[in-house]
């Protein structure tokens, strides 16, 4: 296992080492000490390795991640796993705003709460938040799923495209063009798969979730509106 | 506190300021006065002693001097200083002292020797100017009343209209700065009978733009974020202390931070912490 202590090792050097990893690298397990809220830790990794970060991280941790399994043993600042392509990012604490923003793939699991704009513009990433999410989560969400075991703040799913939203707790309000939809067997299977991947197999009743998605009135062109253009 | 503000230098390198809540003396007010470097503070003291009729205890640190004057003479002392072009009252209170200057945190903290100061709590700010010029007057904290100060991260879009309105209510402003307007708004609401909490909640409707405000009081401090939460904020709490930072990097040197509860204040909610 490679151990990097950021108290005496620059972030840029750590990221450069992670970027240089080959697909068949033997350095498959990294442990990063003393993150002390620094930004851009383990950004842009593209290798099948595990990276444990021992403490709270700053902005954009594990951004643009491909393949890697990144575990943050603390809270994450803004934009954790933003633009993730694949892999698995696990925040043991809370995440600040815009967690998983514009992510294209992979799984982001947040054990605590996520602040505003969680999953904004998500494009295929799956996000499981075991606590609650703040306002404007899944704003303009295009694809992927956002699963919230707690509550959701104002205007969830505003201007949503085809992402799936599942919330177990209270939803403060739905955003424009976001509506409640029935949970079919296909959705139950998806929810089960995501909860299992997030390590929440037992004790969670799939039936306690409600599903939200697009009413498809906002992003479809209506010929009646032709005069408006 | 210097170890909290210095790591934030890259967020705002142009001006630095802090309010310290130190010890009080019964019946006395602390008035923080900023003077030009060539200014003769000792002759100002003798002139002011004519007003106070008692000797004034004063502590000078770089460009700032804290005067300890009888509480009843504050209005007269302020009126006298207001007529001196090279001296400005920065703030006053039973315990609050305010220091601020243009410059990076490390430099300003050193100039005032912040490390040697003591108190129960304090508020520090480093600025990246957006709405007005880089001047000492534009540096934070801004005072909002006795023992009260405000720092702001963000940018207000209706500050000119609000400044005009507040001027029509009799408030005076030193700068074109938006944050000074926020401080003036709190002052005006509190003068009108609002509690600080009510004033902060009123700001949610009256002030347009984005902001995280931290407000220092004699006994504690408050935090409020705009409803959209444009600007970051993080809190840390232990049994012994509570701290605010714009980001977690500001908090990493606090004693016991590894076991602190670290969390983000939610938007549009007024938070307060008070000492018993």
Pull the structure tokens for residue A208: 């306690």
Reported as a single tens digit per residue, the pLDDT across A70-120 is 999 999 999 999 999 999 999 999 999 999 999 999 999 999 999 999 999
Residue B87 has pLDDT above 80, yes or no: yes
Which residue in chain B is spatially nearest to A76 when comparing CA positions? B248
Average pLDDT value for residue range B9-14? 94
Q: Is A137 on the interface with B (CB under 8 A)?
A: no
Contact criterion met (CB < 8 Å) for B249 and A38 = yes
Helix (H) or strand (E) holding B125: strand B121-127
B127 vs chain A: nearest CA distance in angstroms? 20
Reported as a single tens digit per residue, the pLDDT across A189-207 is 999 999 999 998 777 999 9
Contact criterion met (CB < 8 Å) for A37 and B251 = yes
> Hey, is B149 helix, strand or coil?
strand
Pull the structure tokens for residue B62: 């770089």
Contact criterion met (CB < 8 Å) for A55 and B258 = yes
Sheet with A107-110, edge to edge strand ranges: A2-5, A29-33, A50-54, A69-72, A88-91, A107-110, A123-129, A143-148, A164-167, A210-214, A178-181
Contact criterion met (CB < 8 Å) for A75 and B258 = no
Reported as a single tens digit per residue, the pLDDT across B142-151 is 998 899 999 9
> Distance between CA atoms of A100 and A82, rounded to whole angstroms?
4
The number of C-alpha atoms within 13 Å of B67 and in the hemisphere containing its C-beta is 31
Task: Quote the distance between the C-alpha of residue A42 and its chain's center.
Answer: 16
Q: What is the mean pLDDT of chain B?
A: 95
Q: Which residues from A are below 8 Å from B264, CB to CB?
A: 94, 96, 115
Pull the structure tokens for residue B202: 């009123």
Is residue B37 one of the residues assigned to a domain? no
Task: Quote the distance between the C-alpha of residue B165 and its chain's center.
Answer: 23
For residue B194, give its domain range.
2-6+122-274
Average pLDDT value for residue range B25-37? 96
Nearest to A116 among B247, B251, B267 (CB): B267
Q: What is the mean pLDDT of chain A?
A: 96
Is residue B61 one of the residues assigned to a domain? no
Contact criterion met (CB < 8 Å) for B229 and A38 = no
Helix (H) or strand (E) holding B81: helix B74-82
Helix (H) or strand (E) holding A101: none
Task: Quote the distance between the C-alpha of residue B268 and its chain's center.
Answer: 21
> Distance between CA atoms of A39 and B149, rounded to whole angstroms?
30
The CATH number of the domain holding residue B259 is: 3.60.20.10
User: Parallel, antiparallel, or unpaired for β B64-70 and B28-35?
Assistant: antiparallel
Alpha helical stretches, state H, chain A: 11-19, 185-197
Residue A4, judged by CB atoms within 10 A of its CB (0-12, 13-18, 19+), counts as buried
Nearest to B248 among A58, A116, A134 (CB): A58
Note the residue count of chain B: 276
Which residue in chain B is spatially nearest to A136 when comparing CA positions? B228
Residue B109 has pLDDT above 80, yes or no: yes
Q: What's the pLDDT score for residue B240?
A: 95
Is residue B242 one of the residues assigned to a domain? yes
Residue A209 has pLDDT above 70, yes or no: yes
Q: Is A145 on the interface with B (CB under 8 A)?
A: no
Is residue B48 one of the residues assigned to a domain? no
Reported as a single tens digit per residue, the pLDDT across B227-275 is 999 999 999 999 999 999 999 999 999 999 999 999 999 999 999 998 8
Residue A229 has pLDDT above 70, yes or no: no
ipTM comes to 0.92
A106: nearest Cα among A139, A63, A61, A52? A63
> Distance between CA atoms of B36 and A143, rounded to whole angstroms?
61
Residue A220 has pLDDT above 90, yes or no: no
Reported as a single tens digit per residue, the pLDDT across B35-72 is 999 999 999 999 999 999 999 999 999 999 999 999 99
Average pLDDT value for residue range A126-133? 98
Q: Which residues from A are below 8 Å from B234, CB to CB?
A: 96
Non-local (6+) Cβ contacts of B167 within 8 A are: B173
Nearest to A37 among B228, B247, B267 (CB): B247
Any idea which residue has 């993150």 for tokens? A35
How many domains, chain B?
1
């Amino acid at each position: 296992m490679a151990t990097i202590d950021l108290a005496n090792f620059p972030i840029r050097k750590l990221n450069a080492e992670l970027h240089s990893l080959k697909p068949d690298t033997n350095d498959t397990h990294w442990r990063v000490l003393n993150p002390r809220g620094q930004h851009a830790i383990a950004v842009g990794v593209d290798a099948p390795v595990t990276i444990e970060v021992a403490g709270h991280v700053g902005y954009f941790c594990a951004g643009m991640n491909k393949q890697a399994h990144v575990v943050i043993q603390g809270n994450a600042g803004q934009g954790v796993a933003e633009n993730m392509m694949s892999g698995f990012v696990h925040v043991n604490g809370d995440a600040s705003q815009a967690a998983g923003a514009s992510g294209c793939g992979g799984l982001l699991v947040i054990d605590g709460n996520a602040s505003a704009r969680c999953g904004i513009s998500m494009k295929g990433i799956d996000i499981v938040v075991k606590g609650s999410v703040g306002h404007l989560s899944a704003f303009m969400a295009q694809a992927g799923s956002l699963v919230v075991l707690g509550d959701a703040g104002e205007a969830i799913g505003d201007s949503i495209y085809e992402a799936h939203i599942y919330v177990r707790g209270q939803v403060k309000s739905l955003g424009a063009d976001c509506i409640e939809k029935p949970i079919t067997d296909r959705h139950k299977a998806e929810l089960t798969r995501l909860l299992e991947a997030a390590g929440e197999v037992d004790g969670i009743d799939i039936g306690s979730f409600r599903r939200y998605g697009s009413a498809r009135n906002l992003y479809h062109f209506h010929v009646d509106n032709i005069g408006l253009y | 506190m210097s170890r909290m503000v210095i790591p934030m230098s890259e967020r705002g390198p142009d001006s630095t300021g802090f309010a310290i809540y130190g010890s009080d003396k019964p019946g006395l007010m602390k008035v923080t006065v900023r003077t030009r470097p060539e200014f003769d503070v000792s002759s100002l003291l003798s002139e002011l002693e004519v007003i106070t009729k008692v000797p004034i205890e004063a502590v000078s640190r770089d460009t700032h001097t804290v005067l300890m004057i009888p509480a009843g003479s504050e209005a007269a002392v302020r009126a006298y200083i207001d007529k001196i072009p090279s001296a400005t009252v920065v703030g006053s209170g039973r315990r609050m002292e305010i220091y601020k200057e243009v410059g990076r945190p490390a430099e300003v903290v050193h100039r005032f020797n912040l490390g040697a100061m003591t108190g129960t709590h304090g508020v520090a700010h480093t600025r990246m100017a957006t709405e007005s010029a880089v001047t000492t007057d534009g540096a934070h904290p801004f005072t909002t009343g006795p023992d009260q100060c405000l720092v702001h991260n963000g940018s207000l879009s209706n500050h000119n209209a609000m400044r005009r309105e507040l001027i029509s209510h009799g408030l005076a402003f030193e700068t074109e700065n938006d944050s000074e307007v926020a401080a003036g708004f709190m002052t005006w609401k509190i003068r009108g009978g609002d509690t600080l909490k009510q004033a902060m909640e009123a700001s949610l409707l009256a002030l347009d733009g984005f902001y995280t405000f931290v407000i220092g009081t004699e006994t504690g401090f408050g935090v409020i974020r705009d409803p959209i939460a444009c600007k970051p904020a993080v809190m840390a709490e232990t049994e012994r202390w509570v701290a605010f930072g714009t980001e977690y990097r500001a908090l990493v040197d606090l004693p016991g931070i590894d076991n602190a509860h670290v969390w983000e204040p939610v938007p549009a909610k007024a938070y307060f912490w008070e000492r018993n």
